[in-house]
Amino acid sequence: MTGLFSEVFLSALLFGAVTAAIPLLLAGLGEQISEKAGVLNIGIEGMMLAGAYLGFVGAFYSGSLWLGFLTGAAGGAAVALVMALLCVRIGLNQIVIGIALTLGLEGLTALLHHFQFSRSYPRLPAADATVIPLLSDIPVIGPAFFKHHLIVYLAVALVFGMGYIYRRTQLGLNLQAAGDKPAALDVAGIDVVRTRTIAVLTTGALAGLGGAYLANVGAGLFIPFITNGAGFLGIVLAMLARGRPIWVLFGALLFGVCLSLTTAMQVAGINIPTDIIQMLPFLAVMIMLVLFGRRASLPAALGIPYERGAR
Amino acid sequence: MSGFSSSSVAGRDIVALEGVTKRFPGIVANDSVDLSIRPGEVHVLLGENGAGKSTLIGMLSGLQQPDEGRILVDGKPTPITSPRHALALGIGTVFQHMMLVPTLTVAENLLLGGPWWQRPRTEELAARVAEITGTLGITVKLQAKVSELSLGEQQQVEILRAMLRNSRLLILDESTSMLTPKGIDELGALMRRLVEQGLAIVFITHKLKEAAAFGDRISVLKLGRKVGEIPPERFRALGEQEIVAEIVELMFGKQKDDPEAVERPVRTARAGAAPLLQVADLAVAPTDNAPGLSSISFDIRPGEILGIAGIDGNGQKQLAEALAGQRTATSGSVRLDGAAIETLSVGERRRRGLRYLTDDRLGEGTVGTFPVSINFFLKQVGAAPFWRNGVEQRAEIDKRATQLVREYDVRTPSLKTPVARLSGGNIQKVLLARELAEGAKVVIFNKPTYGLDLANTLASRQRIRDTAARGLAVLLISTDLEELLGMCDRIAVIANGALVGTVENVDDARTKVGRLMIGLAA
Amino acid sequence: KSIAILTPEEGTDYGWNQQGIDAAKAAGKAAGVEVVVAQGLGYGDVRPTLRELASDGASLLIAHASGYNTSAPEIAKELKVPVAIVDTPAGLEKGLVADYTLSGHEGAYLAGRLAAKVSRSKSVGIVVSGEPPSWNSQSAAFAQGVKAENPDVKITYAVIGPAAYSDAAGGKRVTESVIASGADIIFGQGNGSSFGMLQAVETTKAADGGKVYFIDVIGDKTPIDKGFLLSSVVWNIEPVYAAMIADLKADTFGTKHYTIGLKDDSVKLLKTAAIPDNVWTEIQALREDVISGKIKVEPVYDAAAVRALMTSVAQ
Amino acid sequence: MSIDTAPTVSATALDATSGAATRRDIAHRLLMTLGPIFIALVIAGCILLAVGVDPLAYYGFVLEKGLFSPLGIQQTLTRMAPLLFLAAGLIVAFRAGMWNLGGDGQFLLGAVTAAASAPVFVQIMPAWLALFCSFLIAMVVAMIWSLVPALLRAYQGVNEIITTLMMTFLGTSLANVLVKLAFRDPNTTVPQTRTLPVEDRLPRLFETTITSGLLLGLAAIVIVHLVMTRTAFGLKLRIVGANPRAAVHSGLGVPGLTVAVFAISAGLAGLAGAVDIIGVQGNVRADWNPAYGLAVIPAVFLARMNGFAAIGFVFLLSVLSIGGESAARRLGVPNHFTLVLVSIVLIVLAVAEYFDHRYSQSRRT
Ligand SMILES: Nc1ncnc2c1ncn2[C@@H]1O[C@H](COP(=O)(O)OP(=O)(O)OP(=O)(O)O)[C@@H](O)[C@H]1O
Ligand SMILES: Nc1ncnc2c1ncn2[C@@H]1O[C@H](COP(=O)(O)OP(=O)(O)OP(=O)(O)O)[C@@H](O)[C@H]1O
Ligand SMILES: [Mg+2]
Ligand SMILES: [Mg+2]
């Protein structure tokens, strides 16, 4: 082991795991809000792609990663706005619109990329890291977890922020009521449509941010279909987490670690066909599902548009 | 939202409806209704199922908009655009259907609606709740999840919530349907105190006695129209009996003495006959949100009606479900006509003649989006003659459904109407028709008249009596003691999942059952 | 008279698709025939496109993806239109089906020698997004070249991950890990994901703090290079297509295999400024040896064999 | 109740109205389909204009190459075969309130097993029997693959959206592994299964290139429609879908029915894979994933889970994908534009349905 798995290599693997986990985390946290409020947001893959594309465009032309994150989040939110208008406001089927948006953004971003970047394939410089003093000096762990771009810490902080909102604020109550019994929320004087719209827009912004991180930091560039199903994994994580943000974090990290593990196993020269090794992350999640998926209680009104006074 | 003192002049309308009309596909739910709601008055709204009472309330509380006519608030025409608007106008409503979030605690439900950025103000709430519950004479468990509460307890929470809002108009849509007799009396007294403070109250009920006892003014709706009103002056002039008589006339157009007067059951039980249903030592494990059952034993003979009395949430539903096979019993035996059935499936028990009329009409009794016709046969899917070789015989289904609709007087625009669009009473008729179909031997009725109007209640009760008279065994679960006293041969009392005693329904049954219910020996 | 080329992706990838399309255009121009390009067709069913191109009058269909080698011969037989397919040496049929099995393994071998020579850390990495035969043969030859040059050089081999063709983030992540394991030269093969590898090389420092270099395959990424491109195993398919057109005219289509190799420069190593002149001279000498047969490089197409090779050479 | 009820939201109108469709009804439906498609084309046309392509030319090619040329229509009809099977499988699942989003995995496994078995079978038995057996195996394998989500849902209450999504990721990988490691054709360097000779594949219809798989697909979807709307079994499934608690109350064996739904749905997806391989492709290559499932899902919803309407939508999707590819090539737009077009069409159709519904509601009262 010692020869192959140097400290540097191990921390690079873990670093990679974190980098791979962050887009999933953001997407999962985003999806969680929508689901809590009763909207099954299948369009999240499209929102991530929009975020990835616009995030990259923003960062590339402005030279500022932060601006890129901002445009990425805005891009995701813009797609979410369509979803909110169609699915929340006029109550169209969430699956139809979600999948249609995903297809559309796959095509649209690929199209834009073709006309804009397919000759130059621009790439961003390395994202600068915010080094956390002391902690980053711990061997292996330090460079793996405490030398990331500031946005990574913010994303992790968001986990606790969301936890606080869900459990300790009126907004959290509103979201839960919107998903479990929207009529009760309505008669309590809170506009269900508005609550759900806010939830969906937040989802879009977070998914867009996740996409922007994926493009700008994860890959440093944009290419068509770059998200590769990350949005769908986000849906899985959100459902698996049963409304608790911390579980989204664990799930995303588990997935990231499994990805790195596949690299580690290959580098260690374990002669299993790579195709089999690469099933590992999905197997891990599937096993989690078998073990913990029991009665994954979803909001009662999930997927059902709310119409005031309908019977 | 708050801040309305009792200074509003009595006699002037807080809210008035002028020619309000509301239509739904295929039906006119309200047809130019005029109504005046005044401070200092309990305005009772009466009417049969589907008369349009709840629709009217829906418009007052901002859930729905009138198609024609207008609503005046403090004399000014005011379209009530949303529930929030209604709350801001000081209109607080307890809806007929539960409007609590089951996954939140009682406290959280009461706090729902506060500014979104705030932390829920739990301490403040606890103080105010203590204040109100003190005068109400009820207790609420603020930290309990709503899904763990019985329907009765949930109703109390809803009333409490309306009170917390400092409304100047309080609307109670069938809020007594789940309360105990004592609870009903307390609610009546509370309403009286509130109107004396200058509030206006709209009170909807199907119990004429409650109307007479608590009201100041009565309006009667029929088929969406207002067919009559008894103003306070007259109301005070009349005695209870006369008021009831007048209401009955307004509602049904025919004279009748106290229709709810207890009719002694015709004794049809054959004392010597072998019991049709024998339950011995039945036990069910408790779950997160439901009490368990322990050592339940009873027999029912052919033609006999056994009542189960008790405060809602003491295991009545578990008992019914365990008998029907929807809930697994941990021990005990159930014999139907001598044969053990405790291990059989729901479907097999039904085929052997055990029928269960659920109290949750929309939740499990029907498939709301399916047509009325199909809902008649939900428990017979695949059976001849409605299905042959698994293929639906639509003509047969429609023929029989038409017959049942006529026989049970189901008021529906058509056979194809989704059953959820019917009013509660008519849904109940669909269920009755389904459960009493051929081959029934033992029928479990769970709160069969809950939410039904007077005519439907009487009709349902008559059906139940007829059922027993045909030689079937009947288990009648009800929270309405009057109903049980009026119908049963024997009454067992359930408390905390156990039968605490069984009483022959003879002269002093009322006191005996009452004593059992409050935990004393009969 | 026209010929048509079908590619799975857009011809703007500085790689397989672009090389194919550019070569077809060049060969067509030289022979004076029109070239129809059908690009970005994906890896699904291209029979509709093949039929349509044939009915539009193409007299040669170049199915430029191994994924098309079942459908194209079928359509050839159905419509009696000549097709050219890849990676199917057994599929020849006179007048109908020609095969061009392209393997850059000779070039990759030289790239391996080059990498071993210039690696400061004596550790190189191979990152691939998948394991199709044509990449396998280059991965294997690269590894052989490295070991032939210096048996002590460590080789790290990594396949990116599930559905990795467009996984640029995965390409970057895996490449960073491989660099962290000590490699200062990355031999990368992958479609969209290779841009992620390139990005990793550009933004990650080697263990000694110096530059990491990238060796590309098939195409020439010089126009988008930021100074990290060490070389590329460039394929020039034009001679292949030119020969096909000639054979078509001479009625000998479908009788021979077309290949590429070092000897006619249809496979060549890209010279960049990053390669020291003396090293380049040595490499040119080695090139002669491969051409003359003094050095034998056998292609290895099978993924399992490649992995076996990696583990054995890694020890 | 849980999410189960959601698919029935759109089924509501169907179950409520039903009955014989009058001629006016059909004309109305047609208008409500073609109108929105026209609007969608206008919107997509603006995008084309923005990238400098003449929309009229583009649509001209789409129509010509997807619909009106003999070659085009044959291609379109051939493309429909697997989509019809997938749609049939989704109809069963969605009507029963189960969100089988794992169609792609089931499809691929069916495809791989059919591809692995058919070339072997044709050598040892009559061709028709061989193909039949391959279809059977593909179906059974896909059914078995669906067992994990089915059992988890039926007995543990694990939400099937997550499990089927995960199983589709896994199934895609597994199909790949099977091609490379188990069923690989030893005679090629390219990892793919043995190829079923063209003459052993499903016969083509008449003198065309249309696969007879089209007829199988049409039969499948019509049978599914009739079973779901006309039989006791179908009604049981719909009850489970619309109100699972009512199903329990009515004495239906909900877990058993749940497993049955998954089996049928996945079996049909497996057959979709088989029909594509045995009818058209002949073999499966490693990393092959046409991902048909994703676009079929919204189409089935737009069809309100009605089999006949679904046929129409599948036809539309096929025209767009066949014609779009051709048009894109001729005009130099990337093929990705087809995705954009499909997306816009789906969205506008959904919006149009909403306004149509609103309009008819307001007219009725
Ligand atoms: N949202 C709706 N859509 C369609 N029809 C409705 C709707 N709401 C009410 N109705 C119909 O309007 C009529 C009046 O219903 P409403 O609920 O007001 O009756 P109600 O007097 O409250 O009856 P109950 O005593 O049974 O509660 C009924 O026929 C009902 O079916
Ligand atoms: N009047 C009715 N009597 C009995 N069953 C009915 C009636 N109306 C609707 N149904 C039920 O609703 C189901 C669904 O109706 P749906 O509209 O899907 O079928 P359909 O109209 O018969 O089919 P198609 O669209 O092929 O004509 C029917 O199969 C049946 O179970
Ligand atoms: Mg009512
Ligand atoms: Mg129909």
Q: Would you call B165 an interface residue with chain A, using a CB distance cutoff of 8 Å?
A: no
Q: Is B430 in the pocket of ligand 1 (CB under 6 A)?
A: no
Contact between B346 and D19 using a beta-carbon 8 Å cutoff: no
Contact between A191 and B114 using a beta-carbon 8 Å cutoff: no
pLDDT score, position C94: 85
Q: Is B501 in the pocket of ligand 2 (CB under 6 A)?
A: no
Q: How far is B64 from chain A (nearest CA, A)?
A: 6
> Do the domain assignments include residue A71?
yes
B130 pLDDT above the threshold of 80: yes
CB contacts of C55 in chain D (<8 Å) are: 71
Q: Which of residues 158-187 of D touch A (CB under 8 A)?
A: 158-159, 161-163, 165-167, 169-170, 173-174, 176-177, 180-181
Mean pLDDT across chain B: 84
Share of chain B above pLDDT 70, in %: 92
What is the helix (H) or strand (E) element at residue B70, kind and residue range?
strand B68-73
Q: Which stretch, B385-394, B510-519, C179-188, has highest mean pLDDT?
A: C179-188
Q: B385: cis peptide before it, omega within 30°?
A: yes
Say how many C-beta atoms besides its own lie within 10 A of residue B511's C-beta. 11
Average pLDDT for residues B238-252, to the nearest whole number? Answer: 79
pLDDT score, position C24: 92
Tell me D194's DSSP state. Answer: P
Tell me B145's DSSP state. Answer: B
pLDDT score, position C312: 64
pLDDT score, position B267: 55
Residue numbers of the domain that contains A108 = 2-121+141-292
Nearest chain A alpha carbon to C131? A274
Q: Would you call C11 an interface residue with chain D, using a CB distance cutoff of 8 Å?
A: no
- Higher pLDDT, residue B175 or D308: D308
Ordered by start, the domain boundaries in chain D are: 80-309
Give the span between the Cα atoms of A274 and D199, in whole angstroms.
36
Tell me which of B57, B116, B362 to substitute to probe the interface with A (most A C-beta atoms closer than 10 Å): B116
Q: How far is A251 from chain D (nearest CA, A)?
A: 13
A37 pLDDT above the threshold of 90: yes
CB contacts of A187 in chain B (<8 Å) are: 61, 63, 83, 93, 95, 99
Contact between C169 and A19 using a beta-carbon 8 Å cutoff: yes
Nearest-CA neighbor of C178 among C157, C195, C163, C202?
C157
pLDDT score, position B137: 67
Q: What is the DSSP string of chain A?
A: -TTTS-HHHHHHHHHHHHHHHHHHHHHHHHHHHHHHTT---TTHHHHHHHHHHHHHHHHHHH--HHHHHHHHHHHHHHHHHHHIIIIIIS---HHHHHHHHHHHHHHHHHHHHHHHTTTT---PPPPPPEEPTTGGGSTTHHHHHSEE-HHHHHHHHHHHHHHHHHHHSHHHHHHHHHHH-HHHHHHTT--HHHHHHHHHHHHHHHHHHHHHHIIIIIISS--TTTTTTHHHHHHHHHHHTTT-HHHHHHHHHHHHHHHHHHHHHHHTT--S-HHHHTTHHHHHHHHHHHHH-TT-PPPTTTT----TT--
Burial environment of residue B446 by CB neighbours within 10 A (0 to 12, 13 to 18, 19 or more) = buried
CATH number of the domain bearing residue A107: 1.10.3470.10
In this prediction, residue C162 has a pLDDT band, given cuts at 50, 70 and 90, of low
In this prediction, residue B5 has a pLDDT band, given cuts at 50, 70 and 90, of very low
pLDDT tens by residue, C255-265: 888 888 888 88
Contact between D162 and A229 using a beta-carbon 8 Å cutoff: no
Q: Which long-range contacts (CB under 8 A, 24 or more apart) does D68-73 make?
A: D70/D208, D71/C51, D71/C52, D71/C55, D71/D209, D72/C52, D72/D322, D72/D323, D72/D326
Q: Do chains D and A touch (3 or more CB pairs under 8 A)?
A: yes
Give the span between the Cα atoms of B152 and B163, in whole angstroms.
17
Cα separations (Å) of B265 from B469, B484, C240, D46, D150?
10, 10, 102, 79, 52
Q: Would you call D13 an interface residue with chain A, using a CB distance cutoff of 8 Å?
A: no
Collapsed DSSP state (helix, strand, coil) of residue D82? helix
Mean pLDDT across chain A: 88
pLDDT score, position B4: 39
Least confident of B191-200, B286-295, B346-355, D285-294: B286-295
Tell me which of C21, C181, C191, C193 to substitute to probe the interface with A (most A C-beta atoms closer than 10 Å): C181
**Number of the ligand closest to the Cα of B400:** 2
Q: Ligand 2: which of D12, D14, D15, D91 to mutate, judged by most atoms within 8 Å of the beta carbon?
A: D15
**Number of the ligand closest to the Cα of B402:** 2
Name the residue type at position B520.
L
Q: Would you call D302 an interface residue with chain A, using a CB distance cutoff of 8 Å?
A: yes
Average pLDDT for residues A281-285, to the nearest whole number? Answer: 84
Nearest-CA neighbor of D342 among D355, D328, D330, D354?
D328
pLDDT score, position A268: 78
Place of tokens 């007067």: B261
Share of chain D above pLDDT 70, in %: 93
Cα separations (Å) of A236 from A76, B446, C62, D159?
19, 41, 42, 10
Between chain A and chain C, the number of residue pairs with CB atoms below 8 A apart is: 138
Nearest chain B alpha carbon to A170? B116
Give the span between the Cα atoms of B167 and D217, in whole angstroms.
62
Residue nearest to atom 21 of ligand 2 (CA): D18
Average pLDDT for residues A124-133, to the nearest whole number? Answer: 82
What is the helix (H) or strand (E) element at residue D269, kind and residue range?
helix D254-276
Share of chain B above pLDDT 90, in %: 23
Q: Which of residues 184-223 of A touch C (CB under 8 A)?
A: 214-215, 218-223
Q: How far is A263 from chain D (nearest CA, A)?
A: 17
> Do the domain assignments include residue A307?
no
Average pLDDT for residues C37-45, to the nearest whole number? Answer: 85
CB contacts of B420 in chain A (<8 Å) are: 311
CB contacts of A304 in chain D (<8 Å) are: 5-6, 9
What pTM does this model have?
A: 0.88
pLDDT score, position B374: 92
- Nearest atom in ligand 1 to the alpha carbon of residue A311 is 1
Least confident of A28-42, B148-162, B366-380, D220-234: B148-162
Contact between B99 and A187 using a beta-carbon 8 Å cutoff: yes
Q: Which of residues 105-164 of A touch D (CB under 8 A)?
A: 105-108, 110-111, 114-115
D7 pLDDT above the threshold of 50: no
Collapsed DSSP state (helix, strand, coil) of residue D165? helix
D10 pLDDT above the threshold of 60: no
Residue nearest to atom 29 of ligand 2 (CA): D229
Average pLDDT for residues A172-184, to the nearest whole number? Answer: 92
| Cβ-based neighbours of B231, under 8 Å, separated by 6 or more | B217
Q: Do chains D and C touch (3 or more CB pairs under 8 A)?
A: yes
pLDDT score, position B21: 93
Collapsed DSSP state (helix, strand, coil) of residue B261? coil
In this prediction, residue D363 has a pLDDT band, given cuts at 50, 70 and 90, of low
C313 pLDDT above the threshold of 60: no
Mean pLDDT across chain D: 85
Ramachandran assignment for B418, one of left (phi > 0), alpha (psi -120 to 50 degrees), beta (any other): beta
In this prediction, residue D12 has a pLDDT band, given cuts at 50, 70 and 90, of very low
CB contacts of D235 in chain B (<8 Å) are: 374, 381, 392
Contact between A279 and D174 using a beta-carbon 8 Å cutoff: yes
- Under a CB-based contact definition with an 8 Å cutoff, are residues A210 and A26 in contact? yes
Distance D251 CA to ligand 2 centre (A): 22
Share of chain C above pLDDT 70, in %: 97
Number of domains, chain A: 1
In this prediction, residue C88 has a pLDDT band, given cuts at 50, 70 and 90, of confident
In this prediction, residue A3 has a pLDDT band, given cuts at 50, 70 and 90, of low
pLDDT tens by residue, B215-232: 899 999 888 888 888 888
> Do the domain assignments include residue A152?
yes
In this prediction, residue B10 has a pLDDT band, given cuts at 50, 70 and 90, of very low
Contact between B382 and D232 using a beta-carbon 8 Å cutoff: yes
What is the helix (H) or strand (E) element at residue C154, kind and residue range?
strand C154-159
pLDDT tens by residue, C94-104: 888 998 888 88
In this prediction, residue D1 has a pLDDT band, given cuts at 50, 70 and 90, of very low
pLDDT tens by residue, D143-197: 999 999 999 888 888 888 888 988 998 998 899 889 988 888 888 778 888 888 8
